[in-house]
Chain A
Amino acid sequence: MRSLIRCIAVLMVGLMATPAFADLKVATSLSDLASVAQFVGGKHVKAESLCKGYEDPHFVPAKPSLMKVIQQADVFISVGLELDSGWLPLVLPGSRNPKIQPGQPGFVDASEGVPVLEKPTGTVSRAEGDIHPLGNPHYYCDPKNLEVVADHLADVFSKLDPANAADYAANAKAFDERMETSLAGWLKQMEPFKGAPIVTYHKNFIYFLTRFGFKEFEHVEPKPGIPPSPRHIAELADAMKQANCKVVVYQPYYDADASNKVASKAGATALELPTEVGGVPEAKDVFSKFDFMISSLAQALSK
C-alpha cells in the first residue's frame, strides 16, 4: 500500500512539474503564419504549421494525421486566397473540431486586409495554367504584409482570450516596430540592385520583388503549374542573355534542374531561395527568413 501511495505521489509531482499549457493552441496552413502567430501570442500561444517550410504549400498531402494535429486546436489560420484550397477542405472537416471551421471565431483567413496583387481582371481560365482566381496568394513574401497579419491576429487572439488582450496588442506593436526597423535595413541592402531583372521558377516572388524594387523578368514555368519544356528553357535563356538578367530564383520544393539549366545556358546564377520559414535551416522565423533571402540575393547579384 505504501509503495502504491508513493507511486501516486511521484506521478502527481511529475504532472505538476510539466510546463503549463498555452492559453491558445494555434495551427496554421503555412509556417510564416505560425511564426507571426508565435510572435504575437508570445507565452500564451503554441503555434504549429501543418505545412513545413520546405514543402510546396500548393500540394500538401492531406494526411489524416494532419486532422489529428488540429483536432484540439483553438485557432486555425489559413493563408487564404485559395493557396491551401487543394487540401484544407479535407483536413479541416476531418479534424471534427467545430471551433476552427470556416465561419467560426477560431477560423482566421490571414489574407484579410492584405493588399492583393495580380487579381485577375478578365475571365479566369485554366488555359493560363493553375492561376489563383482571387489574386496572388504569396503575400507573406512582403514584410509589410506580415504587419497586417500580426495586427489581425492580435485582434483575433484578444477576442478569444480577452484576459491576455493587452499582451497580444503589445506583442503585435513590438512585431510591427521590429519589422519596420528590419525592413529599412533590408531596403538599404537591396538599394544597389534596384531595377535588376530576375527570373523566378513560379509566380510566387511578386510581392518580394515589388517591395524591393526588382523587375520580374520571366518564369521558368511557362504557365503556373506547368513544367518547362526544353524549348521554353532555351528561349528563356536567350531572352535573359539579351536583357542581361543574371539571377534565377526557385524555392527548395521546386525542380532545381530546370532552373540550373536556364541559368547555365544564360550565363546566370540559379539561387535556391526559401519564401517560407523553415525552407532552409537558417530561416527559423520570419525575420531570419528575410535576412537569408536578402543576403543570398545580394550575394548572387553582386557576381
Chain B
Amino acid sequence: MKPRVLIAVFVSLACIPALSPAQTRSMFSNLANPSIGLNALVSAQAAPNLNQPYGINFDDAEMSLISVVDPTWTLVSNIVFAGTGEVDPEEVWVRTNSIPNISLKLGKIRGMFGKQGMLHTHAYPFIQAPVIMANTIGEEGFKDSGLEAAWLTPVPWYMELTGGVYKAVDATDENPLDFGSNNHNNIPYGGHLKNQFDLNESTTMEFGVSGLQGRGADGHRHGAIGADLTFRNVPLRRSNQRGWILSGEYLERNSSVGGTYHRQAHGGFASFQYRLSQVWWTGVQVEKALDSYTDVLVDPATGDPIAGNVKRASANIKWAPTEFSYIRLEYSYAQADDGNGFKPHDQRIMAQASYTIGYHPAHAY
C-alpha cells in the first residue's frame, strides 16, 4: 500500500467523531408505568358421577394494570389468560372522579349487577359459581362494553344509583343474555341501586336491586333482574382475625314476547362464611336454580345439557397464610330434575389455589 494512501486512511480515522460510549441509560422513563399485578388460579376436581376426567386444571391468570392517565382519568384493566389459551380483555375501562357525586366508567366493564357478579373469580366465596348466576348474567358476571354513571345520592346513608348503556351482543355460553338485535334502537341498558347501612360499628347490611334489558336477535325484549342482601361483621378490634358474612341473592332471566312476560332461568343462593382466625375461613352455601343448565343434567345419549331444576349444597374451608395466596378445599352435593323423571345427582370434591404477585387492588367490601 502506498504511504499516501495509509496517511489518508489515518487522517480519515482521526477525523471521525469520537464514538459515544455504550448507551447504558434509556431515554424512556419507566417512572409513570402502571401498577402491575398477576393472579393465578389452579384447581383440581374429582366428580365420580360425571363423565369428566379427574385432574389438575390451570383455570386462568389475570393480569391487572392500573394507572392514572391524566388529572381527569384513571385506567383500570384486567386481562385474563384462560387455561384454554384464550386471552380475554375482561375489563379495560377508564374512570373519572372529576364530577362531584358521580363516577363515570367507560370501556369494557363488569356491569353493575348483583353482589357476587361484581367479584373476580378468585374472590368468589366458593370455587363453583352459583348455578343461577351462570344461567342469568354469566358465570363471571355481566361483562360488556358500555358506559356507566354511578351517583352517590345525598341521603344520610350510603345509597348509590347506577345507570348504564351497553353494546348489543348475542347470547353465548359465557353471556346467557340475548341482546343481539341489529336494530338501531337496540341499546341495552341497566340500572342498579345499592344501599348500605351500619347496624353498629362492626356489622353492616347491604341491600341491592339490579335490572338489565335489551332486544334479542329474535327481535323480542330480553332482560334480567336481581336482588341481593348481605350482612357482614368485621369486629374492628380483630379486623384481620374474625368476622362473618351472611349473604343471599335472587336472579332471574326473562323475556317479553308479544307483551307476555316469560320468566326463564330463575333461582337464588344463600351463603354463610365464617372467619375462624387470621388464616382460616370456612363456609356453607345452598342454591336452587330453576329452568337452568348445569354439567349435572345432561342427555345420557348425546351428552348435551338439558334445562331443569337444580339444588346444590356446598361447604368449604380455606387457608390463607397472607392476603396474597390461599388454598381451599370444597365439597358439593347437587341434585337435578329434568321434569320428566330423570333425576341425576352429583357429588364432587374440589381444591383450588390462588396466588397473587405485584399490585392487587382491594376487593369491593
Contact = CB atoms under 8 A, between A and B. Distances in A.
A58 to B, nearest CB: 7
Contacts of B201: 52
A89 B361 contact: yes
A95 B151 CA distance: 10
Interface in B187-240: 194, 196-198, 201, 204, 206, 232, 234, 236-240
A101 interface: yes
Contact of B74 (A86, A93, A227): A93
A68 B241 contact: no
B158 A90 contact: no
A257 to B, nearest CB: 10
Contact of B152 (A61, A90, A95): A95
Given A96-B100, A97-B100, A227-B278, A64 B239 contact: no
B89 interface: no
Interface string B284-312: 00000000000000000000000000000
A253 B158 CA distance: 27
Contact of A61 (B74, B97, B234, B324): B234
Given A64-B194, A95-B152, A90 B365 contact: yes
B113 to A, nearest CB: 17
A54 B201 CA distance: 12
A169 to B, nearest CB: 30
By size class, the interface of chain A is 35 or more
**Which one of A52, A63, A129, A226 has the greatest number of beta carbons of chain B within 10 Å?**
A63
Contacts, number: 98
B6 interface: no
Contacts of B83: none
Contacts of A130: 322-323
Interface string B85-118: 0000000000101111111000000000000000
Interface of B: 68, 71, 74, 95, 97-103, 150, 152, 157-158, 160, 194, 196-198, 201, 204, 206, 232, 234, 236-241, 277-279, 321-324, 357, 361-362, 364-365
The 7 tightest CB contacts between A and B, nearest first, are: A64-B158, A59-B240, A64-B196, A55-B236, A61-B234, A68-B158, A59-B239
10 contacts: A52-B236, A56-B239, A59-B239, A61-B365, A63-B204, A65-B198, A86-B323, A94-B103, A96-B97, A126-B324
Given A96-B101, A98-B99, 11 more contacts: A54-B236, A55-B236, A55-B239, A64-B160, A64-B206, A93-B95, A93-B97, A96-B97, A97-B97, A252-B237, A255-B241
Interface of A: 52, 54-56, 58-65, 67-68, 71, 86-87, 89-90, 93-98, 101-103, 126, 129-130, 225-227, 252-253, 255
